[in-house]
Amino acid sequence: MSSISGLVEDEISSFFESSPPLKNKEEVVAKLNQFIELNSSRQDGFNICLTGEKRRIVCVTSGGTTVPLEQRCVRYIDNFSSGNRGAASTENFVKAGYAVIFLYRRGTCQPYCRSLPDDPFLECFEFPDAKNIRVRESHSEAVKMAVMDQQAAVGEGRLLKLPFSTIYEYLQMLREMATALKDVGPCSMFYLAAAVSDFYVPWNSMTEHKIQSGSGPLDIRLAQVPKMISILRSNWAPKAFCVSFKLETDSKILIEKATKALQKYKVHAVVANELSTRKEEVVVVSSSGNVVVRRDSDKPESIVEDNLIRLIVDRHSTYIKENHT
Ligand code: 9Z3
C-alpha cells in the first residue's frame, strides 16, 4: 500500500489539530471498544462466515455533515442526505450476520423505521380510554417489526448507533472508529454512505458569535476539507475492506468520477449514484468491472439496498478469503 503524500498528511493533521475536540470522546471510545471486543470474540450465528472467521464488523456512515458558520452555531451549511441508504443498508448487514456500527447524522433516518409514518410517536398510537394507550391497527405490524428487529439487533450486540452533526464530529469519530477496528483486519468493513462536506470554515477563522446582518452582504471563504479516505486506507485501517460512495447530479460524469475515486483513494469499491435515481439503481465500480445494481421493480417492497448489500457482502467474502492469515 503506497502511503499518502506528506502534504496531504499535513493538511489532515492541521484539520484535526484545529478542530474543536469531541465533547464525549471517552464515552464514544469506550462504547466502540466494548462493542468491538464483544463481537470479535464471537463466531456464532454467522451464516456466511468462513471456517474460524470472527464475526464481521461494518462501520456504516449515514446522513450529511454540517459546516457551522459560527462557533456558537446559529447558521450552518448542510449536505443533502436523508439517511435512508445508510439505515436500509444497516438492516441488510445485520440480516447478513454482521455487527454494525451505525455512525449517523442526528435526526436522519434510523434502521428499522422505514415502514413507520413520518411522526410515528403521534401517528401510531391511540387512546381507547383515559388510562390506556395502544397501537393503531393500521400501524401495528410496522411498529411490531420495527421494535422487535431493533431490540433484537441491539440486544444481540449487533448494532451500535453513534450520532454526529458537524464535519468536525464526523471525521473525529471516523478516525476513532478506524483506529479501534484496526486489529479486526480484513473482517472489518467501512461503508461510507454519509454525504460529507467538501468545504468548511476552519474553526480558528470562524467568528465566535452570531454573524450580524447589519454589515451588508456576507462573504465567506470556505477551505477544502482534506479527503480522509486516503489516510483511512493507508494508515488508520489499511486491512479493512472499504466501500465509498460517489454522488453526482449529472449522470454523464458519474462513472468517470467514481472510477477516478477508486484509483485515487484505492478503495475496494465505489458505489456510484445519481441523485434522482438513487433509490432505483446504483453502479458498483471496482477493479473487476462495473456492475449495475437495481431494485427488483416487480416486487413493491424491494429496495436497491437488498441487492447492493448482497453484492458487497459477496465481495467482502472474497476479500477475506484472499487476505485471511
Ligand atoms: C451517497 O452517495 C449516498 O448514496 C446518498 C444517499 C447520500 C446519495 P439518502 O441518504 O441518499 O438515502 O437520501 N453518499 C455519499 C455522498 C458523498 O458525499 N460522496 C463524496 C463525493 O461524492 C465522497 S465521500 O465526492
Distance 195 CA to ligand 1 centre (A): 4
User: What pLDDT digit, counting tens, does each position of 204-216 carry?
Assistant: 999 999 999 988 9
Complex ipTM value: 0.96
User: Per the confidence metrics, is the pTM higher than 0.90?
Assistant: yes
For residue 315, pLDDT beyond 60: yes
In a domain, 7, yes or no: yes
Task: Tell me how far CA of residue 210 lies from CA of 39, 69, 205, 207, 214, in angstroms.
Answer: 45, 8, 14, 7, 12
- What average pLDDT does this structure show over 209-226? 93
Residue 198 domain-assigned (yes or no): yes
- 247 CB within 6 A, ligand 1: yes
Q: Please identify, by atom number, the ligand 1 atom nearest to the C-alpha of residue 84.
A: 12
CATH of the domain at 177: 3.40.50.10300
In a domain, 64, yes or no: yes
The domain in which residue 176 lies consists of 1-43+51-212+222-239
In a domain, 203, yes or no: yes
pLDDT tens-digit map of 265-292: 999 999 999 999 999 999 999 999 999 9
Angstrom distances, CA of residue 108 to CA of 87, 127, 184, 194: 9, 28, 28, 11
Q: Which single residue is written with the C-alpha cell 485501517?
A: 237
Identify whether 182 is part of a domain.
yes
Kindly state whether residue 258 falls inside one of the protein's structural domains. no
- The total domain count for the chain is 1
- Whether 88 maps to a domain, the answer reads yes
Q: Whose CA is nearest to atom 5 of ligand 1?
A: 81
Instruction: Answer whether residue 282 is part of any domain.
Output: no
With the most atoms of ligand 1 within 8 angstroms of its CB, the residue from 243, 251, 278, 304 to mutate is 278
